[in-house]
Amino acid sequence: MFTRTESFREFIRFYPMVSIIVAIHLVLYLLTILPIFPNYWFFENFSGVNLYIMEGEFWRLITPTFMHSGFAHMLFNSFSLVLFGPALERMLGSGRFLFIYLLSGLIANVATLLLEPLTYTHVGSSGAIFGLFGYYIAIIIFRKHMLSKQNSQIILTLCVVSLIMTFLQPNINITAHLFGLLGGFLLGAIPYFNKKDLSDSIKMTANWAGNRKKSISFQSPIKVFIWAAIIIVAILGFFSQR
């Protein structure tokens, strides 16, 4: 579920929204280092600054979700999205996935605005990514048949480790992590699908997984090993810089 075996083209075709978000991360990062604009221009205009938001620059409630403070920050958040986003995009569809992702990030940033000082400044997609974790937890609790027991255990373990690391690492926006997780969970608990829609979604995911099973079984062990290593690195690096 969390090891990627698709080719680059397949990944873009199967998970267009995850691909677009990662591309935005990369483009914005490049724009902050290329000599097209002054280095500080994008951070001055798009980072989350509570004082500026209170003065009416409300776009800063969304734009920090796509900004990052450096290459490692951008890389690890993008890896996390590539690892944990595709399964949820496949289950929900690209439109609903984007809605959950953006709304979780918005909830995290609004909470940061309300609970942190006016001088507080932040960037990063952590709140939105924690929203995905929260949505997974809601699936585990309310729609447990949509995830295998093994995958449910992986998600819960990752959430516990991530929450522990949130309080141990310096320079972490704890408010965004907690409220992103809570926001995603609440969104997942809302009965978006009626019984027919839910049944169709489960059947679609099961059929897709069955069709992919044969091709996945022939993937190179080296490729699987590389993705397993990336998962470990992403988890460790997820908290390296905020």
Residue 205 and residue 113: Cα distance in Å, rounded? Answer: 38
Pick the catalytic residue from 47, 122, 177, 201: 177
Catalytic site residue 126?
A: yes
Pick the catalytic residue from 126, 145, 148, 199: 126
Catalytic site residue 177?
A: yes
Active-site positions? 126, 177
